[in-house]
Amino acid sequence: MAVIIVSASTGQHAAVVYEAAILAGLPLAGYVTVTDGPPMSLLDCRWLGRLDAVLAADVASGHQFIVACGSNALRRTLTLSLQEAGASLATVAHPAAILSPSATIAPGSAILAGAIVGPRAVLGRGVIVNHAASVDHDCRLGDFAHIAPGARLAGSVQAGAGVFVGLNAAVLPGLRIGADAIVGAGAVVTHDVPPGVTVVGIPSRPR
Ligand SMILES: CC(C)(COP(=O)(O)OP(=O)(O)OC[C@H]1O[C@@H](n2cnc3c(N)ncnc32)[C@H](O)[C@@H]1OP(=O)(O)O)[C@@H](O)C(=O)NCCC(=O)NCCS
């Protein structure tokens, strides 16, 4: 059963996921786009066509899908529609990521080079733990959260669905980040963040 990468926008994140999948030794069928034509060359990955044109045949043939785009909202929409169409989801973990054996990672997620997922962490569907980000012990990440490169979640942080934590941000132990909240690049979060709120700075404040 091979994996199909869904390249949803510019293809940049898809290239990252593609390379991680290749290095992880996953069998790849190719990639699909959501608009006409390949958005960019995905190294030597084969373009299979538009998602809507190939979906039924590829679901029937048992392929697994991973939606590869940095936008939490778009990744959510596409992943949910794939699941509604009966598709199963692949998880891609770069071989240079460190995943605790006691962590749980739901399908459709991408754990990229240098990332660390600690003991008993629980990650939802379609989560991205980007390059060199860390999600420490007992953290819980809701569906379609994205932890950007170099960001650090200390132990027992709870981040709701759709949360985005920007480059090199840090979240102190045990804090709660509400659904769809955004933590700006470089922020240090010292208090809980309500759902949908953007915080920036050190210590972080709503913007
Ligand atoms: C917080 C963030 C989401 C705000 O985005 P935005 O709403 O488009 O904000 P703007 O760029 O319009 O900036 C608005 C103001 O906030 C300030 N600001 C933006 N991001 C900031 C940050 N991370 N920390 C401190 N101040 C920030 C800007 O300097 C600007 O201030 P000014 O009005 O005094 O000039 C964004 O700047 C950010 O940090 N994104 C993270 C990007 C990232 O990590 N990407 C990883 C991709 S894998």
Number of structural domains the chain divides into: 2
pLDDT score for 40 = 62
pLDDT score for 115 = 98
Last residue of a domain, one of 63, 90, 117: 90
Q: Is the CB of 168 under 6 A from ligand 1?
A: no
Query: Looking at the domain assignment, is residue 75 inside a domain?
Result: yes
201: left (phi over 0), alpha (psi -120 to 50) or beta: left
H or E stretch at 145: none
Q: Is the CB of 167 under 6 A from ligand 1?
A: yes
- CATH number of the domain where residue 82 is located: 3.40.50.20
Q: Is the CB of 185 under 6 A from ligand 1?
A: yes
pLDDT score for 202 = 98
Question: Which residues fall within 8 angstroms of residue 154, CB to CB, at 6 or more apart?
Answer: 136, 170, 171, 172, 173, 174, 175
pLDDT score for 45 = 83
The segments of the chain whose pLDDT lies below 50 read none
Q: How far apart are CA 26 and CA 193, in angstroms?
A: 37
129 and 29 belong to one structural domain: no
Query: Which pTM was predicted?
Result: 0.96
- CATH number of the domain where residue 177 is located: 2.160.10.10
- Residues that constitute the known binding site: 70, 146
Q: Is the CB of 201 under 6 A from ligand 1?
A: yes
71 and 99 belong to one structural domain: no
170 and 182 belong to one structural domain: yes
Q: How far apart are CA 138 and CA 102, in angstroms?
A: 10
Residue whose CB lies within 8 A of the most ligand 1 atoms, among 200, 202, 204, for a mutation test: 200
194 and 100 belong to one structural domain: yes
Last residue of a domain, one of 90, 108, 125: 90
pLDDT score for 11 = 83
Last residue of a domain, one of 31, 63, 90: 90
Q: How far apart are CA 108 and CA 68, in angstroms?
A: 9
- Residues that constitute the known binding site for substrate: 70
108 and 146 belong to one structural domain: yes
H or E stretch at 62: none
* Omega within 30 of 0 (cis) for the link into 203: yes
- 148-to-16, 127, 151, 160, 174 alpha-carbon distances in Å: 13, 11, 6, 15, 19
15 and 105 belong to one structural domain: no
Which tens digits make up the pLDDT trace of 31-62? 999 887 666 666 678 888 889 888 888 777 88
Domain, as residue range, for 17: 3-90
pLDDT score for 60 = 74
81 and 41 belong to one structural domain: yes
Query: Looking at the domain assignment, is residue 207 inside a domain?
Result: no
pLDDT score for 20 = 97
98 and 141 belong to one structural domain: yes
